[in-house]
Amino acid sequence: MRTKNKVRNAARVVKGRAQEAAGRAVGNDRMVARGKSEQVKGHLRQAGEKARDAFTE
C-alpha cells in the first residue's frame, strides 16, 4: 500500500507542475497558485512516507 501512496504523491507533484505551466501559459494567476499548492502537498506527503519508512525499517 505504501508504494501506491508514493505513486499517488508523485502524480500529485506532476499534476501540480502541469497545472502551474498551464496557468502561466494562459496568464491565470489562480491556476498557477493551485499548481504550486498541489506540488507542495505532494512533496509533503512524500516526506511523510519517507519518514514512515525510516521508522518502520
Is residue 44 very low, low, confident or very high in pLDDT (cuts 50, 70, 90)? very high
Percent of the chain with pLDDT over 90: 74
What amino acid occupies position 20? E
CA 28 to chain centre: 20
Which 3 state secondary structure label does DSSP give 23? helix
Amino acid occupying residue 21: A
Question: Is residue 52 pLDDT above 80, yes or no?
Answer: yes
Locate 50 and state its grid cell: 519517507
Question: In the prediction, which pLDDT does 5 show?
Answer: 87
Q: Cα separation of 21 and 53, whole Å?
A: 32
pLDDT reported for residue 17: 97
Domains contained in the chain, number = 1
Is pLDDT at 10 greater than 90 in this prediction?
yes
Domain that holds residue 37: 2-56
